[in-house]
Amino acid sequence: MESAGESRLENQSIPSGVSPETATQVSSLKGLIEVFHQPAAWFERLRNDPKVLVPYLALFVIYLISAWVMKDVMTETIMNSPQVQEQLQSGEIPAGAEQYLWISGVASMLFLFMMAPLVGAALAMFWGNIVFAGKASFKSLLSVMLYGELIFAFGSLVVLPLILAKDSLTVGFNLGVLVVDRGLQDALYITLSKIDLFIIWEIVVIGVGLSVINRIPRNKGLLLSVLSMGLLTIIGIAAAAIGSMLR
C-alpha cells in the first residue's frame, strides 16, 4: 500500500507530456541544490529511488574545474615538493615535465575524490546494517554519500579565490592553517586540515541522510556518519603518516 501510494504521488507530480525518465533526471538535478537547504526532505525522496549518476558527474565536473583553475598553483606546488626536487636533481624527471606532473596530480586527486563515496558507503553499510541493525541498500548509502560530498565540493569552489589570491594551496577554512609551515604532506597539517567548516557540514548532512535511509533517530544518524566518515579520515591520515615515514 505504501509503495502504491508513493507511486501515485510521484505520477501526480509529473507534469503532462513529461516522461518519467525526464522527471527523474530533473529530480536528480534538483537534489544538487536541495541537499544544501532541505537535506531531510531530499533524502526522504532518495530512500526508495537513490540517484548515483547525476551527483557523480556533478562532483567530477566541480573537481575538474577546481583543478583547472588552480593549475598554475598546483603545478608550482608539485614542482617545489621535496620529492620532485630530488628526482629532478637525480635526472629521474626531465626538465619541463610540469604538464605531465600536473596531469598525474589531477588524476590522483580525482581518483581519491571519486573513490571516497564508495568507501564511505561501504563503511556506512558495515556500521549501519551490522552494528545498528539497519537494512539500507548499498546504492542508497552511496547516493547519500555522493550528495553529501557536494558540500565539500562546494567548499573547494568557495576557497578558490583565496587560493588564487594567496597563490598557495595552504589556505582554507580549517585548522591546518595554524601549522601550514610544516608542509602539505605533514601528518599534523593533514590531521588539522580535516577540521574544516565544509567537512563538518558534510558530516552533518550525511548524518541526516543516514538517519532517513536507515530509519533511525537523527543523533544515531550523525553518530553513524562520524563513524563512517571519521574512519575514512583516519585511514587517510594514517596513509599520509606512513608515506612521510617512508620518504
7: in domain: no
Give every CB contact of residue 116 below 8 A, 6+ residues apart in sequence.
145, 149, 232
pLDDT (0 to 100) of residue 194: 86
Which residues of the chain register pLDDT less than 70?
Answer: 1-26, 85, 87-96, 240-247
122: in domain: yes
pLDDT (0 to 100) of residue 54: 94
Give every CB contact of residue 247 below 8 A, 6+ residues apart in sequence.
82, 83
φ, ψ dihedrals at 196, nearest 5°? -125, 145
Give every CB contact of residue 220 below 8 A, 6+ residues apart in sequence.
132, 211
Contact 14, 21 (CB under 8 A): no
4: in domain: no
Gap between the Cα atoms of 162 and 155, Å rounded: 12
Contact 132, 224 (CB under 8 A): yes
Contact 185, 240 (CB under 8 A): yes
234: in domain: yes
3-state SS class at 195: coil
* DSSP assignments along 56-89, one per residue: HHHHHHHHHHHHHHTHHHHHHHHHTSHHHHHHHH
Domains contained in the chain, number: 1
pLDDT (0 to 100) of residue 102: 81
pTM: 0.82
185: in domain: yes
5: in domain: no
118: in domain: yes
pLDDT (0 to 100) of residue 231: 83
Chain segment 76-134, per-residue pLDDT in tens: 888 777 777 676 666 666 656 777 778 888 898 889 888 999 999 999 999 988 887 77
218: in domain: yes
Domain interval for residue 40? 18-246
